[in-house]
Amino acid sequence: MLDELKEEEIVNKVGGRFKLSTLIQKRMVALNTGAKPLVQVPGGDRLQTVVQEILQDKIFLDVAGELQSRNATATANIAGNVFGSQKPAPIPTTQARDAD
């Protein structure tokens, strides 16, 4: 586990453990779907990249819980949206059927 995640500084910076977890998860999804990192981390570890983006105040969750960037030029790229202003299609889920 990363030492930075054990510190209260990062938890307090985003407003709690649940918000931190949400922010990390959303940013990891964005990086995995093509978003460009806002900081360079040796070794290319994506989790370390996300932690550094948070600690350097590069990313945050807005009041609606959406991932945002403090850098205006990076905001369009922050969510990994490589196709302009369109949001990616939701991932289909399989609904369990009742066995009658």
Q: Which of 81, 68, 72 is nearest to 31 (CA)?
A: 81
Residue 99, domain member (yes or no) = no
Residue 79, domain member (yes or no) = no
The structural domain count of the chain equals 1
- CA dist., res. 38 & res. 56, Å (int): 10
**φ, ψ (nearest 5 deg) of residue 13:** -60, -35
pLDDT in tens, 45-92: 999 999 999 999 999 998 888 999 887 555 555 655 543 344 444 555
Residue 98, domain member (yes or no) = no
pLDDT in tens, 5-50: 878 989 999 999 999 999 999 999 999 999 999 999 988 899 999 9
Structural domain that includes position 53: 3-72
Single pTM value for the model: 0.69
Residue 39, domain member (yes or no) = yes
Concatenating the DSSP letter of every residue in 14-71 gives HTSHHHHHHHHHHHHHHHHTTPPPSS--TT--HHHHHHHHHHTT-EEE-TTS-EEESS
Residue 35, domain member (yes or no) = yes
Tokens of 54: 């948070």
Beta bridge partners of 67: 61
Residue 97, domain member (yes or no) = no
